[in-house]
Amino acid sequence: MSKPARRVALVTGAANGIGKAVVVRLLEAGYAVAAMDRDAVALTDHVASGAREDVVNFVGDAADTGQLADAVRAIDARFGRLDTAIFNAGIAGVSAPLKDYPIDVFDEVMRVNVHGPWHGIQAVTTLMKATGSGSIVLVSSINGVRGFGTFAAYAASKHAVMGLAKTAAIDLARHGIRVNSVHPGLVNTAMMQQVEEQVGAPSIEAARAQFSAFVPLRRYAEPHEIAQVIAFLSGDEASYVTGAGYIVDGGFTTGVPASA
């Protein structure tokens, strides 16, 4: 059992990309971390996993109520508290015009990206209510505030996440639980690479160059740059921040960048 003062975080989609960076960042900040992911191999291969007493891995589906409940029970047993939950697990779906978009892929995108955080919030609030405080961060996307052609399922799901964060912030304020959403732009991750492969550019590099031209900072984010903002929102530095959508996009959604 850890020292009672150690803060405890749950991170879903923890094995790769932004989630992995969040785990690293929170461990640096002294949290104990419960890392959940469907990908057992990537999760056990994690830089932060292994024999550390401040990390516990859950191989499971972060949209499954039963598996979420198991994870929260195990967190309670191991650490006795939960201070912050980062619902980051998400999938991009495919790139297709809505007209031709496979409805089973639409259903899976909504299940993972929307039903996941919904069940996640319900699973963690009991434990957070016990301490009378907590912070929940939902990882949305700039697709939660803007549309992009051929990703209608993803856009619908990420807009829904923002709506979920706002209402949850209002509903859970009475328990001292803050809820916010983070909206990353283009990030150097495997998921973004899947998107780059699907948009019909001659190469991934070409797709990247094409996308970066829309970003005033003229580059992708590295995952740790998103993790820093998530860690900030998770902690007491953000004690008055709730119901907010923090955009972390290098200026992408601000307007039209000056031509290169």
Please list the active-site residues.
154
- The smaller minimum CB distance to another protein, of residues 169 and 207, is found at 169
Interacting span for another protein (CB under 8 A) from 6-14, 83-91, 167-175, 222-230? 167-175
Structure tokens at 257: 């960048």
Query: Which residue among 48, 64, 80, 148 contacts another protein (CB under 8 A)?
Result: 148
- Based on the shown chain and the rule CB under 8 A, indicate whether residue 149 belongs to the binding site for another protein: yes
Cα–Cα dist 165/235, whole Å: 17
- Based on the shown chain and the rule CB under 8 A, indicate whether residue 125 belongs to the binding site for another protein: yes
- Based on the shown chain and the rule CB under 8 A, indicate whether residue 122 belongs to the binding site for another protein: yes
Q: Give me the phi and psi of 90, to 5 degrees please.
A: -165, 155
- Based on the shown chain and the rule CB under 8 A, indicate whether residue 110 belongs to the binding site for another protein: yes
Query: Which residue among 2, 49, 65, 194 contacts another protein (CB under 8 A)?
Result: 65
Q: Give me the phi and psi of 123, to 5 degrees please.
A: -70, -35
End-to-end CA distance of the chain: 55
- Based on the shown chain and the rule CB under 8 A, indicate whether residue 168 belongs to the binding site for another protein: yes
Q: Contacts with another protein: how many residues (CB under 8 A)?
A: 50
Secondary structure tally for the chain: helices H, strands E = 9, 7
Please check whether residue 15 is in contact with residue 46, taking contact to mean a CB–CB distance below 8 angstroms: yes
- The smaller minimum CB distance to another protein, of residues 16 and 84, is found at 84
Give the residue carrying structure tokens 């283009």.
Answer: 186
In terms of Cα–Cα distance, which of 71, 68, 42 is closest to 56? 71
- Based on the shown chain and the rule CB under 8 A, indicate whether residue 106 belongs to the binding site for another protein: yes
CA angle 173, 66, 20 (to 5 degrees): 70
- Based on the shown chain and the rule CB under 8 A, indicate whether residue 118 belongs to the binding site for another protein: yes
CA angle 20, 226, 201 (to 5 degrees): 90
Cα–Cα dist 232/191, whole Å: 24
Q: Find how far residue 64's CA is from the centre of its chain.
A: 16
Query: Which residue among 29, 146, 225, 228 contacts another protein (CB under 8 A)?
Result: 146
- Based on the shown chain and the rule CB under 8 A, indicate whether residue 171 belongs to the binding site for another protein: yes
Query: Which residue among 17, 144, 184, 223 contacts another protein (CB under 8 A)?
Result: 144
- Based on the shown chain and the rule CB under 8 A, indicate whether residue 30 belongs to the binding site for another protein: no
- Based on the shown chain and the rule CB under 8 A, indicate whether residue 121 belongs to the binding site for another protein: yes
- The smaller minimum CB distance to another protein, of residues 16 and 181, is found at 181
CA angle 13, 234, 223 (to 5 degrees): 45
- Based on the shown chain and the rule CB under 8 A, indicate whether residue 98 belongs to the binding site for another protein: yes
Residues that bind another protein (CB under 8 A): 65, 97-99, 101, 103, 106-107, 110, 114-115, 118-119, 121-122, 125-126, 129, 143-144, 146-172, 174-175, 243
